[in-house]
Structure 1
Amino acid sequence: MGRVFRYGIVWLMLLPLPFAAEAQKELFRKMDSLSRIPPPLKRGNQDSIRREFYNQTTKITFPVYWKLLASDLKQQVTSPFHAKPRLWYRTALVAGVTAGTLLLDVPISRNAVDWRKSSTTLVSTSKYITRFGGAYEVYTLAALGTYGWIFKNEKIKTTTLLATQAYITSAVIFEAAKFLSGRQRPYYYDPETNTNSPAWHGPFYQFKKDANGNRPDSYSYTSFPSGHTCLAFAAATVYAMEYSDRPLVKIASYSAASLIGLSRITENKHWASDVLIGGILGHLIGRQVVNNYHRYAKLKSEEAAEKKKNSLTFAPQFQFGRWLPGVVYTFN
């Protein structure tokens, strides 16, 4: 995925966010207040993912899309500051697994390159699969969204819109992580050290000039985390959760995302730890986007139900040759 495309799409999609955030402070407050309540999807309750749940009340309109997107990004950025103790235990576990993977980055990369050199089938297959973590995945989402729009399938439309939200917020977060880490890609030989080690150079190394006054290729220092893998798992998690009542959708989604992640290693574009963290990050982002939408839908449904309670209706009646005032008070 080209740098111009990545940066362009992120900033283009984020332009309306300040306006959405300003207009919906109260909505954000309510949604965030529910963030500590486990969403129904975590409890195995299938009621909130049935097709009839996606109606006019919970429909994602253009303004709602941006409001949810702003809320998603806010919650994702601030979530580490609101984590419960049990989440820190999981974080420690992930950190331990990542540390072990870091030690294996170089041998895994070398074996992947050797395997690639000895198999023409792997070369062609790997190139094909890795494209689905970039432009091809965008085409897939567009096709699914178009199908939902043509055949008026609100659930597919809603799921695809949520997948694009996971896609956008993932891009924002992993691009920031890439910039801050400045990790060297496995295929690149640093002109300063003349090595292709998995070094971490930090955010300012790409601005450093060599003896000739030239700056290094900044793209070669954006290895961590894997953006392709992050995007793939973010979208896969959305579809897997929204169609959790269909095991084949979950299997197909996560299998495709895993193959994309592995292809980034066989393509020698990423270290194994880049792919691991990219997958975990994408999964967490996908879960947050889905759960946030269901919190929103829950609030909207409760709001619509509240309007129907104890309603006061004026109902004039024509009796005895003249109109008489009438009032109907409905109890629920």
Structure 2
Amino acid sequence: MRSQLFSFLTSFFLLTASIGPAFAQVPTAPPAATDTTKKYANPGGVSSAVKAPWYKSKLVKAVAIPAVLITYGAITAQGDAGVNQRNREFVQKQFRPVSTGFDNTLIIAPYFELAAVALAGVESRNDRINTLLIIAKGEAIMLASTFAVKYLAKETRPDGSDNLSFPSGHTAQAFLAASIVHTEFRDKSQWYGIGAYTIATSVAALRMINDKHWQSDVVAGAGFGILSAHLAYLSHRNRWGRKSIGRDVGLSPTYFGNGTPGMTISWRPTK
């Protein structure tokens, strides 16, 4: 019995040994060729960023608030009728007219704030050359847009002096300057922008108190000013880098002769 079992096992192992190499030598199918047609499409293997919806774009964010203000001003621009007349009567009952020379000067007060804060050594968002370029661009956009609309709208002023009431250029100028101050220093403190916008709002109020503009004029003017600043920033490319171009600034009184005093500003750029 043992001899028969030994013979069976011996035969089994011999059969396995003879069949095993046969299976081992069976050729396997070659691997499928790798698709290399798009190997350079994303070499880093980084997933492409998901595109933000259109309503979250920089342009929409920049235009949204000014568009609301301008639209409201255009809808309510009815001259001596409706909400304009009611607000004019309210303002005349509550306030007396102020010298127009005051609001003519106050429109550029935010720029004085911008200069004072910069001279104090507070770093702005852009260096001084680029800030001046943005101001120049914003002024050009604001003047072109507001005066074009003035001549197209031909809205008569409350005091009847002319038909260039809509929109308020003084208000547009003040809010343009305030928006630039806010953008340049909002990373340092929100109070700089609050102060500038307070000045701009005061200009709008004075234009109504002095009976030079309707409510619709100043609301739309604020929209044109803010929009001009936003477009100036969106279209600007920083061409001189973001490094400081100098903080060695000094002010000194000067006498120019013939009884004319003045002020001299000295500035030396850093290397």
- What TM bracket, shorter-length normalisation? 0.5 to 0.7
CA distance in 1, matches of 2:89, 2:171: 20
CA distance in 2, matches of 1:145, 1:252: 14
Cα deviation, residue 255, structure 1 = 1.0
Contact 1:230 1:280 in 2 (8 A): yes
**Counterpart in the other structure of 2:17:** none
Calculate percent identity across the aligned residue pairs: 21
**Counterpart in the other structure of 2:156:** 184
CA RMSD of aligned residues (A): 4.0
For residue 241 of structure 1, what is the amino acid of its counterpart? T
Contact 1:238 1:289 in 2 (8 A): no
**Counterpart in the other structure of 2:84:** 105
Change (3 A) 1:263 1:173: same
Cα offsets for 1:89-133 (capped at 9, x unmatched): 98578635753575310111122122234xxxxx44x74651235
**Counterpart in the other structure of 2:171:** 229
| Structure of greater relative contact order (alpha carbons < 8 Å, 6+ residues apart) | 2
| Matching of residue 264 in structure 1 with residue 204 in structure 2 | no
Choose from 74, 94, 106 the match for 1:115: 94
Contact 2:65 2:223 in 1 (8 A): no
For residue 173 of structure 1, what is the amino acid of its counterpart? S
Cα offsets for 1:68-88 (capped at 9, x unmatched): xxxxxxxxxxxxxxx87x978
Choose from 64, 68, 71 the match for 1:95: 71
Cα offsets for 1:188-226 (capped at 9, x unmatched): 1xxxxxxxxxxxxxxxxxxxxxxxxxxxxxx61100000
For residue 131 of structure 1, what is the amino acid of its counterpart? N
- Report the TM-score, using the length of structure 2 for normalisation: 0.54
For residue 286 of structure 1, what is the amino acid of its counterpart? A
Cα deviation, residue 252, structure 1 = 0.9
Cα deviation, residue 264, structure 1 = 0.6
- Report the TM-score, using the length of structure 1 for normalisation: 0.45
| Matching of residue 132 in structure 1 with residue 105 in structure 2 | yes
What is the count of residue pairs matched by the alignment? 181
| Matching of residue 166 in structure 1 with residue 145 in structure 2 | no
Runs of 5+ consecutive residues of structure 1 not aligned to the other structure: 1-35, 43-82, 118-122, 189-218, 302-332
> Within 5 Å, which residues of 2 pair with 1:187-206?
187-188=159-160
Q: Looking at CA atoms only, which structure, 1 or 2, has the larger radius of gyration?
A: 2
Cα deviation, residue 177, structure 1 = 0.8
Change (3 A) 1:251 1:157: farther
**Counterpart in the other structure of 2:252:** none
Change (3 A) 1:241 1:113: same
**Counterpart in the other structure of 1:284:** 227
Contact 1:133 1:231 in 2 (8 A): no
Aligned with 1:220: secondary structure?
coil
CA distance in 2, matches of 1:242, 1:281: 19
Contact 2:172 2:221 in 1 (8 A): yes
CA distance in 2, matches of 1:93, 1:277: 5
Pick the structure with more helix per residue: 1
Runs of 5+ consecutive residues of structure 2 not aligned to the other structure: 1-53, 242-271
